[in-house]
Amino acid sequence: MIPIIDEYMCIGCGKCIEVCPPQALILTNERAHLREEFCEECGFCAPECPVNAIIIPFPLSTD
């Protein structure tokens, strides 16, 4: 799933950008911004965020 970035929570540390293999994340106005067309949905970015500003939505089970 495509990550969701809460740009209000983001502190602009850049840790998510460092671990993004396709370089889909960039800093814009000192906040992380996702370029969805480059995102490979790997999920590496979310655990690196020290303020939990990145959420990976998971689909609800239909079982």
pLDDT at 48: 98
Question: Domains of the chain: which residue ranges?
Answer: 4-55
Joined tokens for residue 24: 């889909």
Residue-level length of the chain: 63
User: Quick one: pLDDT at residue 34?
Assistant: 97
Tell me the whole-structure pTM to 2 decimals.
0.85
SS (H, E, C) the chain: CCCEECCCCCCCCCHHHHHCCCCCEEEECCEEEECHHHCCCCCCHHHHCCCCCEECCCCCCCC
Pick the CATH number of 4-55 from 3.20.19.10, 2.100.10.30, 3.30.70.20, 3.40.50.720: 3.30.70.20
The pLDDT assigned to 33 comes to 96
pLDDT in tens, 5-62: 999 999 999 999 999 999 999 999 999 999 999 999 999 999 999 999 999 998 776 6
In single-letter form, the type of residue at position 55 comes to: I
